[in-house]
Chain A
Amino acid sequence: MENPYLPYPVRIDDIVVETEDRNLKTFKFVFLNEGDEEKFAYHAGQFAELSIPGRGEIPIGIASSPVEKGFVMFTVNKAGVVTTHLHKMKVGDIMGVRGPLGNWFPWDMLEGKNVLLVGGGFAFTTLRSSIVYMLDPANRPKFDKISVVYGARTPGMLLYKGELIEWEKRDDIDVHITVDATDDPEWKYNVGFVPPITEQKAPQGDGDTYAIVCGPPIMIKFTQPVLEKLGYTNDHIIMSLENRMKCGIGMCGRCNIGQELVCKDGPVFTLDQINQTPREY
């Protein structure tokens, strides 16, 4: 019997400080044992438990993409016991990664469709995974128009800035970067909250267009009416939920929203599905 609680041992290979407040770091892990990377085959939108012996585990969205090989990558906000400890760890340290867990964005269904990604703050990790996946030369033809609206409080709080700037220049993806405010005279992108920028820049919703929305609750709250106005129906709005988790495999009982378990039946749900649950998240 395989033990689903046993993480794959990994070594921290690289650490990048992502944001000016130094509260977000991206960790690149390599698997210690041969064959584990193949066993960890994942889809964009899934998460994993980062497992630190002596501290515990924390569920984090996978920021690397299935098309990137040789490592897995997570961007982690320093917040609780495990993440604070992780932020103190160094390249070369040994820990564990358990997963991949949960469902993923519905890539089969999205084939041949327009895809709009709306992200805010540090909830851009699985969206980064998705963009890298879709832009892979083998995958790009599978999708029609790809649009992105991504915002943070300030330019210094944007994740993956180098990649964002590169994507912004491309003509096979329509990227709109925005910040709440900036006094940087060099800033050449949008200024404004994510919802109004979405209203101005995002494509109209129709049967062939899906929106994937990841962000803080306040952003989601104000983006929802905007998408509705643009013509997106609730079954074409896809979201990724978060709840406190322990097991990640649907057994420990705490992350449920009604009969759905966010860790196993989710974290990805359509707004339509979410509206049929008691929304305890």
Chain B
Amino acid sequence: MKIVAIDKKNWEKGLDKLRGAYRLIGPVKEDRYHYFRELGKGQMPDFSCLNTRLSAKETIYPQSEDMFEYNLDKSQEDHHLLKEVEKDDSPQAVLGIRPCDAKAVELVKLNFDTEEYKDPYWLRSWEATTFVGLACDAPCSTCFCTTAGCGPYHEEGLDVLLADDGDRYLAKALTDKGEKFLAAGGWSEEVDGEERFAAGKAAAEEKIVSTVVTENLRGADTLALHGDDALWEDVSFSCINCGTCTFVCPTCWCFDIQDEVHGTQGRRQRNWDSCMFPIFTVHTTGHNPRGTKLQRVRQRFMHKLKYFVDKYDAGIMCVGCGRCVQQCPVNIDIRRVCELMNSRGAKDACAVEG
């Protein structure tokens, strides 16, 4: 794979060159935290950011987006007909996305890009995006990517992987999109950097000490795990169903569809939704299949650590970014839940073998 050296002195110049061809998005510090924001003229992505407060999912999957527009004025010829909303799907580059968030995009793609149906909003935006990742040489204490099917130098989902190499970046082009991006930035000094990537990867992985155990999840009996009331009572006890975990999670994709009307003009929009909210599943009759918080918390973890595992055979629906661990107001920790579920799975495996 082609590796290009980018002298940090040429970084800003290169980005300025790229602005003509791409909308640039990168981590920007607002108040105490970093968020992915479109970079204005002269604005640089802040690579001192360990990780952003919200994941990078919003760069291709906005929290709220218009799907259709229509008018309800019966004197107009096209009244009550839904029309596609014009979108700007011109090329954009997400700079400094961490490997965990990029891998998460690949997992979410399994949901939006299926054999039977393609979600046009998500896919068009994904196609228009070049993901320029930044390897993590200084991971957070809450990172557990290495046991979550990912890692600080993981390449899945990325078009370019950057590694900080003192006064320069080493940029590994991973896809055609990535090569195009580097060429457009005017960076072409090819170097032999494989060793730096290998050494950096080993050193960074060493620093990640937090782990999850997942090996028995697949073999676990779904109904036994689902029916383990004591486990779910324990896990959900302190949950206040605030939904923070689902909003900060890079792999949570659930959404709602709503019509918004002002006068005779209306829009159909979709908004991020959360399995933590009772209204997510309530029937019109008032009956709710997941009416209690135990049922909702169970759904979140069963989806991530069991249903997804069984359905796609692509590991867990978690990349170990640690955001939910950091931001949960009542300290619910997916690593602990995963361990409880995994040990429950070990019991099931023993039962089968015995």
Binding site for B on A (CB under 8 A): 1-7, 9, 51, 53-57, 79-80, 83, 93-96, 242-244, 246-247, 249-259, 264, 276, 278, 280-281
CB distance from B253 to the nearest CB of A (A): 7
Docked Cα-Cα span, A6 to B69, in Å, equals 11
6 A-B residue pairings within 8 Å (CB atoms): A54-B261, A244-B283, A246-B255, A249-B117, A252-B273, A259-B311
Report chain B residues within 8 Å CB of A257.
289
B18-26, B274-282, B341-349: which lies at the A interface?
B274-282
Q: A57-B257, A276-B223 are in contact. List 5 more A-B contacts (CB 8 A).
A: A80-B284, A244-B280, A246-B255, A247-B255, A254-B254
Given A258-B222, A259-B307, do A5 and B67 touch, yes or no (CB 8 Å)?
yes
B5-13, B78-86, B188-196, B197-205: which lies at the A interface?
B78-86
| Interface residue from B70, B256, B306 paired with A252 (Cβ < 8 Å) | B256
B80, A53: Cβ atoms closer than 8 Å: yes
A251, B68: Cβ atoms closer than 8 Å: no
A6, B84: Cβ atoms closer than 8 Å: yes
A280, B118: Cβ atoms closer than 8 Å: no
Report chain B residues within 8 Å CB of A83.
284
Docked Cα-Cα span, A238 to B244, in Å, equals 39
Q: Is residue B333 contacting chain A, with contact meaning CB distance below 8 A? A: no
Count of interface residues, chain B, beta-carbon cutoff 8 Å: 52
B82, A51: Cβ atoms closer than 8 Å: yes
Rank and list the top 3 A-B pairs by shortest CB-CB distance, nearest first.
A253-B254, A259-B307, A80-B284
Report chain A residues within 8 Å CB of B231.
none
| Interface residue from B114, B222, B273 paired with A253 (Cβ < 8 Å) | B273
Given A57-B257, A94-B79, do A243 and B283 touch, yes or no (CB 8 Å)?
yes
Given A53-B259, A56-B259, A276-B223, do A254 and B120 touch, yes or no (CB 8 Å)?
no
Contact with A along B93-127 (1 / 0, CB 8 A): 00000000000000000011010111110011000
Q: Which of B301-343 contact A (CB under 8 A)?
A: 302-303, 306-308, 310-311
Given A1-B118, A53-B72, A53-B82, do A243 and B289 touch, yes or no (CB 8 Å)?
yes
Q: Is residue B142 contacting chain A, with contact meaning CB distance below 8 A? A: no
Docked Cα-Cα span, A204 to B81, in Å, equals 51
A96, B82: Cβ atoms closer than 8 Å: yes
Given A7-B82, A51-B82, A247-B257, do A1 and B289 touch, yes or no (CB 8 Å)?
no
Given A1-B118, A243-B289, do A254 and B281 touch, yes or no (CB 8 Å)?
yes
Closest residue on chain B to residue A253 by CB atoms:
B254
Closest residue on chain A to residue B282 by CB atoms:
A244
Given A250-B114, A252-B255, A254-B281, do A1 and B120 touch, yes or no (CB 8 Å)?
yes
A278, B258: Cβ atoms closer than 8 Å: no
B68, A6: Cβ atoms closer than 8 Å: yes
Docked Cα-Cα span, A54 to B268, in Å, equals 8
Report chain A residues within 8 Å CB of B111.
250-251, 253
Report chain B residues within 8 Å CB of A251.
111-112, 114, 117, 119, 253, 255
Report chain B residues within 8 Å CB of A247.
255, 257
B123, A95: Cβ atoms closer than 8 Å: no
Closest residue on chain B to residue A217 by CB atoms:
B287
B80, A95: Cβ atoms closer than 8 Å: yes
Q: Is residue B147 contacting chain A, with contact meaning CB distance below 8 A? A: no
